[in-house]
Amino acid sequence: MVRAAVIPKPNRAVEVRGFARPTLEEGAALLRVTYSEVCGTDVYLQQGLLAETPYPLIPGHAVVGEIEEVRGDVRDVYGEQLREGERATFLDVHGTCGKCWYCLVAKATTRCPSRKVYGITCAADDGLLGGWSEYVYLKPGVRIIRLPDSLSSETVIGGGCGLPTALHAIDRADISLADTVLVQGTGPVGLSAIALARLRGPYTVIAIGAPENRLEAARRMGADVILDVEKTTLAEREAAVLDATQGRRVDVAIEASGNPAAVGEGLDLVRDDGTYVIVGQYTDHGPVEINPHTQINKKHLDIRGVWGIDYSHLHRALLIQERYNDQFQWERLITHRFRLDEANEALDSVRSGEAVKAVIEPWKRAD
C-alpha cells in the first residue's frame, strides 16, 4: 500500500488514505517522494476556491524525490535515459497537447485546454498524481529533471513552485540594469522574485510584506528596502518608495502578494511609463477598483499578467539554483516540516503565514 494525504472535498480535513502501488505503463516512472511543498494554492484547494478542481485529490505540485522505477524509454530534455536511484524533480504541468490553436498558433501553451497539473487538477481516482504521497506516478510525457550532485533536495524544494513562477514573472518584467524594482509580497513567489530581481542588476529592490520571519528572508534574498505591510500605512509605504526612488516611484513592480488590494497600491507605486507585473492573483477574490485614467492611461503604463509556467521556467530555475544557491540559500526558506498525517497542521502553518515555507516528508514517521 502507498500512503497519501487526500482532500476529500472542499472544506474538509485532509486525511491519509492507502492506495495500491501502481503498475507502470510504457514510458512511465515512479518517484519516491522526499519532499513535497505546501503551497498557498493547497490552502485554496482545501477551501474549494479554485475552479475546475476534481475531488478527492492528492495535493502537492512541487516535488523532489528519487526515481524508484522506470518502464522503458524515459528521457530528460538532453535525451538521457533516467535510471532508478537518481534524484529528480518534474514539471507538474503536463498533458499540454502540442496540437491545438493555443499551442501551435498563439504559442500560449499555459492556456492549452488539455493542460493538467499534478496536485491541482488531477483526481485521486486517476492515480498517485500529487506529491503528498509516498510515491508519485509520473505519466509518459511528464518532463522529469535529474538533479545534479551540487543541488540538494532541500534547495530544490526550498525554491519549490515559487521559484519558476517568479522566474516567469521576472522574464515578463524586463528589468534593465540600474532599475528600481518593487516586489509586493514576501511569500515563496515574492521571495524568489526578490532574489531573481537581485540577479538582474537593479539599483534598488524594495519589498513589501509580512510577517517578520518573511521579512528577514526578504533581506537575505536581497531586498534593500523592506516595508512591513502590517506596521505601515499606505501613505507611509508610498513615502518610503518615493524616498528610495528620488521621488519618481519604481521602474518595475511585481505583484506577488495574492491580495487583490495590492493591485491598486502597485499601480500607484510604479512610475509613469513603468512596468507592472501581476503574478500573485492565483484565485478569484473578487473585483477591486482601479482608475483607468490616472493609474493606466495617463501613466502610459505596461501591465503584464503571468499565468503558470512551462518547462523552460523550471529548467532555468534549477540552473539558477545550481549557479547562485551559495548566494541565496533557498533551503533556508524551509521553516516547517510535516508528516503526511500532519497535513492539516501544515496547511495551518501556511495559511497563517507562520511558515515561510512548509514541506511534507511522506516517509517521515512519528518518533
Angle CA(62)–CA(332)–CA(183) in degrees, nearest 5?
Answer: 75
Does residue 40 interact with its own copies by CB under 8 A?
no
How many other C-beta atoms are found inside a 10 Å radius of the C-beta of residue 200?
Answer: 16
Residue 21 binds its own copies, judged by CB under 8 A: no
Residues 148-167 interacting with its own copies (rule: CB under 8 A): 167
By CB under 8 A, tell whether 294 contacts its own copies. Answer: yes
C-alpha to C-alpha distances, 308 to 14, 50, 116, 185, nearest whole angstrom: 25, 14, 11, 18
The DSSP bridge partners found for residue 83 are: none
Residue 154 beta carbon to its own copies: minimum distance, rounded to whole angstroms = 21
SS3 107: coil
Min separation Cβ 100 and its own copies, Å: 6
The least CB distance from residue 315 to its own copies, in Å, is: 5
Q: Shortest distance, CB of residue 127 to its own copies, whole angstroms? A: 22
CA distance 42 to 189: 14
Q: Could you say whether residue 117 binds its own copies (CB under 8 A)?
A: no
Which residue blocks in 1-122 are alpha helix, DSSP H?
40-47, 101-104
- Map the footprint of its own copies across residues 168-207, applying CB under 8 A: 170-171, 176-178, 196, 199-204
Q: Are 145 and 88 in contact, with CB atoms under 8 Å apart?
A: yes
Residue 328 beta carbon to its own copies: minimum distance, rounded to whole angstroms? 11
Whose cell is 530555475? That residue is 317
Among 293, 326, 366, 367, binds its own copies (CB under 8 A): 293
Least distance to its own copies, CB of residue 121, Å: 13
Among 119, 209, 280, 362, binds its own copies (CB under 8 A): 280
Site for its own copies in 60-99 (CB under 8 A): 75, 77-79, 98-99
Cα distances from 83 to residues 30, 80, 92, 118, 363, in angstroms, run 11, 9, 20, 22, 21
- Report if residue 105 touches its own copies, rule: CB under 8 A: yes
Size, binding site for its own copies by CB under 8 A: 80
Q: Which helix (H) or strand (E) holds 33?
A: strand 29-38
- Determine the Cα–Cα distance for residues 218 and 359; give it in Å rounded to an integer: 19
User: What's CA 268's distance to the chain center, in Å?
Assistant: 26
**Is 322 one of the binding residues for its own copies (CB under 8 A)?**
yes
Question: CB of 193: closest distance to its own copies in angstroms?
Answer: 12
Q: Which of residues 232-271 bind its own copies (CB under 8 A)?
A: 246, 248, 251, 255, 260, 263, 271
